[in-house]
Chain A
Amino acid sequence: MSTALLQLVGIYQTFGAQTVISNLSLSLEKGEIGCLLGSSGCGKTTVLRCIAGFETLSAGEILLSDTKISSVGFSVSPEQRNIGMVFQDYALFPHLTVAANIRFGLHRMHFTMRTSRVTELLEIVGLVNVADKYPHELSGGQQQRVALARALAPRPNLLLLDEPFSNLDVSLRERLSLEIRSILKDQGTTTILVTHDQNEAFAIADKIGVMHQGKIQQWDTAYNLYHSPVSRFVADFVGQGVFLTGKMLNRYQVETELGILMVNMLHQDTALNSYIYSEGSEVDVLMRPDDIVHDDISPLRAIVIHKIFRGAEILYTLRLSGGGTVLSLVASHHNHAIGEGIGIRLEANHVIAFSQVAL
């Protein structure tokens, strides 16, 4: 049938009167790293727990390698799914050493194989020197890697990572997320990651699903999420940006303070959603910071009302003469004071517009 390793088909999960997941579908190819991105309480962890088998479904089904593992009233028990999971708090066994933690899942392996597998994993995650320590004697980053190694040890069909970096400091996060991506890619481990941090998602995942209120708003690559969000929520949630009001001149053009812009009518890859609005309708046009370029000689002027220094660049918040606000990312040697007027230029072929009525 399909080549997808994991398929979620219209799953629902309810807890009492509360619907945690509603009509959620996604599929993941073998070796792909997927990510569920969403704010806390959006149900993303519950999706992981459903896949792992800790929660039962209220509707829909989950298939792993085309075999049904969960549906209503049916659930392969977690230990038989061969799905590894790294928990948010790592949940390392405090009474076992690092090596013993990693060895824990290898009970079905032949004894002599176990030790070599443990050594292999310790090498992969770079923890050979702490093999005999107890978890409480490790740093947060080390604990994180132990948790990953433990989950990887039995060579799971699928690996689930629940907010894997949330307990780490920011500098460590970035390094570790790249490191982990390369480990996962090297091992060819199909992975689903759950996070609230889009940078993490962008760094690791091949495909990202933005979740909101138990639904996946968009399941797509990072590029498409950023440049072709299918909903106002996704546009808002992923990356920075502001909306400018505009009026459709025809199906292709919209008039805004910045002039007449071309509207992107179709989603980049899929025909999932099209942005087609009737002539004359009022729309909100998404302006990303990189759509606006600083240009001293441009006749278009705007006033700096806010600035954030980011090292290589400065993020300016600018007020247009018409009262609208846009963001602009400018190389940091262009240092302007608040209140100063600067020239800007639009640099976008097509823009995304949303109707003003909320979805």
Chain B
Amino acid sequence: MATLVLIPVGVVVVSSFLSPTNDIWQHLIETTLLNLLINTCWLTLGVTSGSALLGVSLAWFTAVCEFPGRRIFSWALLLPLAIPAYVTAFVALGIFDFTGPVQTLLRSWFGSNVSWFPDIRSRMGIIIIMILAFYPYIYLLARNAFLTQGKRSLEVSQSLGLNLIQGFFKVTLPMARPWIISGMMLVLMETLADFGAVAVFNYDTLTTAIYKAWFSMFSFSAASQLASLLIVIVFVLIIIEQRFRARMRYSETKQSGQIVRIVLVGWRAWSVTYLSFSVLFFAFLLPIAQLIIWASHAFTRNFNQHYFELLWHSLLLSGFSAILICCVALSIIYGARRHSNSATNIAVRIATIGYALPGTVLAIGIFISFAWLDQWFGRIIMQLFRIEIGSFFQGTLLAMLFAYAIRFLAVGYNSIDSSMQRITSNIDEASMGLGIDGFKMLQYIHFPVLKSGIFTAAVLVFIDVMKEMPITLMTRPFDWDTLAIRIFEMTSEGEWEQAALPAVTLVLAGIFPIMMLMKKTEQ
């Protein structure tokens, strides 16, 4: 299974050796490569650590504490997930840029000298924007960890003389590590793969260089070499993490029943409320408000029956992909569990690497694999029945679903795998001793424990697929548009106002599963 998923990534790596690209490398090394690497490092470091900081602290506040508005914030803080990063980036730039309303207003108040206003077009600016767009991955997973962790460990640390804050750092946090690391891996890969947001900021990263080598210098080989470099980076990180985790386990023997929340009072409570609100404001309310304003301008012109079709297509694809990916992720996790050794573990982790590749590069890898499959299949049919079928596999929804599975396996895998850490092999053995095995074990023993992980995975995949562009563009059947494609068409011509309507629809369609998810985990 893992190998199947690996093929497209393999295609990318292999095609990097196909034709010589010495001149392009020579050129890159002489000019921009160092800068690209520095930029990429800063961006991934900044975004991953920043998202972890924000995601974990918000998750802890909403999972363990009580403060004004906690109920609303606990699900609302996930909403930024529904907004594609490039939309957040574009809106933020539109508002806080030199030409935007904020700076224009400031100039009209204080005259032309408002250079004290922080420049959003900076490394810090793009990092903050991407943190706001990506922190929900960590928030969601960490919250899951905190909610299921119970208070027991914290009580132990208290009885050993540590106060709550020390306990948080020495116990709660380390024990939530698989979840937090999973979330951080997702953010890291998403950051590495991002093209939209960095393009809006004209911030050069490895990914922008990949696109440049391919689209501007007409060298797919150079592009895939750069992509292979990206793969190597992620691969090394995965290995390091595996080594680090080594023999540790995270399963708690028993969970203590009801959650007794730590009630925050006074300035503490209000500063948490304030923090939550400002995150929500900048990451969700502001972009959505801007989108709605734009959409209302374009509404009468653009809205028609066609939109329901787009919406239906998006929902259909996302729904089926969510189911498919959860199934694939589960079977991979079980495979790795049965034959647990470091080789399979690493193979499994590599299978999820598709998430770190820029969408279009992976899309091509997938496309090439499908084309081979088609040619091979076509030849067989030709020999058997003497009929020519042309392409059989390409341009079908089935192919699309597979493509999504390859891209978003990491999302499903990471969410489910961290819950799997809870199930010790003792539980397996105990249930096998009771004659419960195979599918029954999954149904009665594992599913109840994995439920929240699977559901989280499904929702994340659902939303990610809905936002996805390059693979959708390349693998969709004729006349089969989705909301994301409509957004692409409009934004590629700079028609942000007209892109707003599909974008708002997309966000709204993403909100419902998020709210469902929160309701589930809140119980």
Query: Which A residues have a C-beta under 8 Å from some C-beta of B?
Result: 52-54, 77-80, 82-85, 87, 89-96, 104-105, 107-108, 134-137, 150-151, 153-154, 160
Contacts and interface: CB of A to CB of B under 8 A. Distances in A.
Contacts of A79: 157-164, 166-167
Interface residues of B, number: 28
Contacts of A104: 157, 160, 162, 170
Contacts of B253: 89-92
Interface in B149-176: 152-153, 155-164, 166-167, 170-171, 174-175
Contacts of A154: 160-161
A89 B254 contact: yes
B180 to A, nearest CB: 12
Given A87-B152, A136-B249, A78 B177 contact: no
A104 B157 CA distance: 8
A134 B160 contact: no
A95 B161 contact: no
Interface of B: 152-153, 155-164, 166-167, 170-171, 174-175, 177, 247-254, 424
Given A93-B153, A94-B251, A85 B159 contact: yes
B161 A108 contact: yes
Nearest to B153: A91
Nearest to A102: B160
A87 B156 CA distance: 8
A134 B250 CA distance: 11
Nearest to B177: A95
A137 B425 CA distance: 12
Nearest to B157: A104
A139 to B, nearest CB: 12
B162 to A, nearest CB: 6
A138 to B, nearest CB: 12
Nearest to A132: B247
B247 A94 contact: no
A91 B424 contact: no
Nearest to A85: B159
Given A91-B152, A91-B153, A95-B175, A77 B158 contact: yes
Contacts of B254: 89, 91
A126 B164 CA distance: 31
B161 A94 contact: no
30 contacts: A77-B163, A78-B155, A78-B159, A79-B157, A79-B162, A85-B159, A87-B152, A87-B155, A89-B253, A91-B253, A92-B253, A93-B171, A93-B174, A94-B175, A94-B248, A95-B175, A105-B161, A107-B161, A107-B162, A107-B166, A134-B247, A134-B248, A134-B249, A136-B249, A136-B251, A136-B424, A137-B247, A151-B159, A151-B160, A154-B161
A143 to B, nearest CB: 9
A261 B521 CA distance: 66
B427 to A, nearest CB: 12
Contacts of B175: 93-95
